[in-house]
Structure 1
């Protein structure tokens, strides 16, 4: 059994006030107090950041606990273990004895162990004739029993903080996804507003977040992004409301214009028909607007192609030049003087890239006719950015042109995907 006297360290190791306080706290153990040693060890591993111990030190403590013969720590069974450093090394998976001594000193400094040295510094136990231990010299586990409630409380705090950080990260991920999708939609739909500036502000907020942020840092970033998301949603809702009001007004005007069931224009051919005219003449006169449609269709395919190209050009939305250069930075090297500052520079660089990638002039001219010169230059910049993944740049451009003519292609998703992949923080958490 342990004695209640103060024990000083052997050899040149000095006595400290911390050691004295740890030994004084051992006297506070209540009779019958006990705790499961492995349950307490799991709590120690959880509370490790707040206790100031390392995982290697906990591995040494685990080896010490394995030498305690009972499953529960209790003062009635004695709380001193006395293995040698060689035995500790075997239980600690071959850890060097010098390393074991260093971690034992760290555990004593953290107040988790008490060193009870013998007169010669050896670790051993003296037993009674019946085999009971009368006095043991080694390491006392009494501080673990005294601080059991504190250790469990610290473990609960660490677990709660980890759970809070996980929930904040989930909210941050959802908020980032919402903002990214809303900006992409606004750019694709041509919403009013400086969406390039909003996107740059969004990236700046994300860039300020470190790779391994704390809960406070994640909460601060989340507050900024939630405010930005609210502003974006309000701006888009105002635009939708304005469009709905405009659409209702136009519908009301059309309702007034068409309220007469028999317009004068439809009755005019009947008034102009003479009384003696034949029924064939009246039917021919009333069918005149219908016979004009086939005549327009018979004028040639060039007019139909021009109309489809014009409609496809109207459907495709242009994007800010800054966003195009952010998503496709490689195109800048092919501009005049090695840079791109205007749309004219981008179109000139696209012509150079077209020739370099082996795209025929006819394919590029058709893309300019269907998509518009700016959008065609933007597509060429995207093709250059993905040149390593495209087998035939000319065939790829013709396919995109045909899809744009049918209204099945939008530049926005492709541009935003490249912008995200070229972002310097594209691989971060959050």
Structure 2
């Protein structure tokens, strides 16, 4: 085995067995490598720096080192050791401090991109023969860049391919997000039948899961879930169209919820078949009044206290809100039957919103259970809407913040 090309660092710096193996690999394969453009190798190393475990400042130091090599190509038969002083190297590294420069030189050595060739006293210099040719040099050996040129090019291609895949996945996710958001908005504005509040809660939960710096795998998983949600929304709209078309579906036509162009956002929904004073013993089952659904964000702004009872102290979806409402219901002493009646008359989501509103005003309500039963009865006869209750809480909170400011 050739031992002349194996070098250890000067002073207290230690050498690892991995560095010895890399030096041996460079020594054994150097003669077999062809010439390569030094700046192309630098570009490949820069593109693959995340895989190499180096940083942008490390690339800046490597750029400075390569600039001291006089030729444009790394050749197997050339002297690939550069020996700049710390001052010269710092100047070409855009004035990088010596402490920072030493740290990144160590990173380049650990990454196997350069090898230290230290002299007996640790100085960097070259000794020339009588003809002026460099006989021996001590400094930084750039031979690993020549040996690993093909490997670095492959790594750079992999990184670029992954970046392209990530960019395409992000674009697809953005488009799918836009489609789902606009489908939900259109359905809510036009009061399309269906549990659109639950779909919106699922959408918001998916959006909140998007990391600040996601990987390709994370984006693709979220994209798949978002596409499933989009398909679910489209299927629900298609089912509603089929139900509304007598030529397709001959089932009895249910009461149609008409979106009037009134200025009031909290308009009552049409009355159910049960009128005030009606006989509950009739064979015709009374239909419960349908309340409008409100955005989850609006509910949480008006009723922030219920967030403390959600999973992990937060509410990210309608499912979380309904789970928190069950906890709060028990805490406030509301009987299960009272809450069940509210769910049947108002709907599970609106019943949860009602509980959240009662929690906000709990210090002013003597009996939370009796209050909820009263709201349920008023809803059943068409005299109650959650909208004014929410807006009253929202306005009170806004007034309190203005006075505090």
Please state which band the TM-score falls in when normalised by the shorter chain. Answer: 0.5 to 0.7
Tell me the residue number matched to 1:227. Answer: 228
Tell me how far apart the structure 2 counterparts of residues 161 and 61 of structure 1 sit (CA, whole Å).
Answer: 24
Q: Is this contact kept in 2: 1:82–1:139, CA < 8 A? A: yes
Instruction: Give the C-alpha shift of residue 118 in structure 1.
Output: 1.5
Structure 1: runs of 5+ lacking an equivalent: 251-308, 334-339, 350-371, 389-430
Corresponding residue number in structure 1 for 2:6: 6
Alignment correspondent of 1:202: 203
Partner SS for 1:137: strand
> Contact 2:302 / 2:394 at 8 angstroms: preserved in 1?
no
**Partner residue, 1:253:** none
**Structure 2 unmatched runs, 5+:** 252-258, 270-289, 305-351, 362-382, 400-405
Write 1 or 2 for the structure with the bigger share of helix.
1
Change (3 A) 1:118 1:332: closer
| Partner Cα distance (2:214, 2:193) in 1 | 35
CA distance in structure 2 between the partners assigned to 1:376 and 1:9 by the alignment: 75
- Paired residue secondary structure (2:210): coil
Report the RMSD for the aligned CA atoms in angstroms: 3.7
Q: TM-score when scaled to structure 2? A: 0.64
Q: Number of aligned residue pairs: give it.
A: 298
**Higher radius of gyration, 1 or 2:** 1
1:21 aligns with 2:21: yes
**91 and 195 in structure 1: CA distance in 2 versus 1, 3 angstrom threshold:** same
CA distance in 2, matches of 1:121, 1:202: 62
- Give the match for residue 411 of structure 1: none
| Cα distance change on mapping 1:62 and 1:320 into 2, 3 Å | farther
1:168 alignment counterpart: 169
* TM-score between both structures, scaled by the size of structure 1: 0.61
Task: Trace 1:14-53 onto structure 2 (pairs within 5 A).
Answer: 14-26=14-26, 27-30=28-31, 33-53=34-54
Structure 1 window deviating more from structure 2 (159-168 vs 100-109): it is 100-109
1:350-387 deviation line (CA, Å, top 9, x unaligned):
xxxxxxxxxxxxxxxxxxxxxx99598499779969x9
CA contact (8 A) 2:84 2:124 kept: yes
Structure 1 residues 149 and 332: CA distance shift in structure 2, 3 A = closer
Q: 1:85 to 1:326 in 2, by over 3 A?
A: closer
Task: Classify the secondary structure of the residue corresponding to 2:193.
Answer: coil
TM-superposed deviation, 1:48: 0.5
Name the SS for the 1:77 alignment partner: coil
Q: Is residue 151 of structure 1 aligned with residue 144 of structure 2? A: no
Tell me the residue number matched to 1:263.
none
Per the TM alignment, residue 77 of structure 1 is displaced from its structure 2 partner at its CA by 2.3
Please tell me whether the aligned partners of residues 321 and 342 of structure 1 are also in contact (alpha carbons under 8 angstroms).
Answer: no
Comparing 233-242 with 167-176, greater Cα deviation is found at 233-242
Deviations 1:244-298 (A, max 9, x none): 3359989xxxxxxxxxxxxxxxxxxxxxxxxxxxxxxxxxxxxxxxxxxxxxxxx
1:345-356 matched pairs, under 5 angstroms: none
Alignment of 1:4-403 (within 5 A): 4-26=4-26, 27-30=28-31, 33-246=34-247, 323=294, 326-327=297-298, 342=354, 377=388
